[in-house]
């Protein structure tokens, strides 16, 4: 009779899931561009426009999530336990600071160009932090396997 080890099966499934969790090359770049567009939209004025920009941004992010699911066959939230969560918080924190600055600075100073620079910087920051998140998540899944 064949020896069946359920823990070995679970371990193999987790390792296979970690191997599939490789973000497509365009995912973090697209997310960074969406975040940059959102920040630029916040600099354009008024609460109604801010709300419209937010709705369009959230719709685009939902489409991006669907594309990711189609490409990888799964989706993992950024709020998972472990080291990956730190990278997710780092990205969220950087976006929060830039979005807050984009909302406040132009209204206080009538200067918008620094916000465009910060928006542009969100693209490479998102790519780098997103890849770090992916690496940490895959490593965590493998270690649990």
* Contact predicate 97/114, CB 8 Å: no
Supply the pLDDT for residue 56.
96
What is d(CA 124, CA 43) in angstroms, rounded to the nearest whole number? 20
* Contact predicate 145/14, CB 8 Å: yes
Residues sharing a CB contact under 8 Å with residue 5, sequence separation 6 or more, in sequence order: none
- Cα distances from 136 to residues 14, 51, 60, in angstroms, run 14, 34, 26
Mind listing the pLDDT tens digit of every residue in the chain (145 residues)?
A: 555 666 676 677 666 666 667 788 999 999 999 999 999 988 887 789 989 999 999 999 999 999 999 988 877 777 777 788 899 999 999 999 988 888 888 888 888 888 899 999 999 999 999 999 989 888 887 777 5
Supply the pLDDT for residue 7.
65
- Cα distances from 26 to residues 32, 51, 131, in angstroms, run 10, 27, 11
Q: Tokens 């594309």 correspond to what residue?
A: 67
Q: How far is C-alpha 100 from the geometric centre of its chain's CA atoms?
A: 18
Residue 60 has which token pair?
């685009």
What is d(CA 21, CA 86) in angstroms, rounded to the nearest whole number? 18
């Amino acid at each position: 009779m064949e020896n069946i080890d359920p823990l070995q099966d679970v371990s193999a499934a987790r390792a296979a899931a970690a191997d599939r969790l490789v973000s497509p090359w365009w995912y973090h770049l697209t997310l960074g561009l969406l975040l940059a567009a959102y920040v630029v939209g916040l600099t354009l004025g008024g609460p109604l426009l801010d709300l419209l920009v937010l709705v369009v941004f959230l719709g685009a992010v939902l489409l991006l999530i669907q594309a990711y699911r189609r490409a990888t066959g799964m989706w993992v939230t950024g709020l998972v336990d472990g080291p990956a969560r730190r990278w997710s918080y780092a990205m969220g924190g950087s976006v929060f600071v830039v979005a807050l600055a984009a909302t406040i600075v132009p209204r206080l100073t009538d200067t918008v160009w620094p916000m465009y620079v910060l928006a542009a910087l969100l693209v490479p920051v998102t790519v780098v932090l997103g890849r770090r998140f992916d690496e940490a998540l895959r490593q965590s899944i493998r270690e649990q396997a």
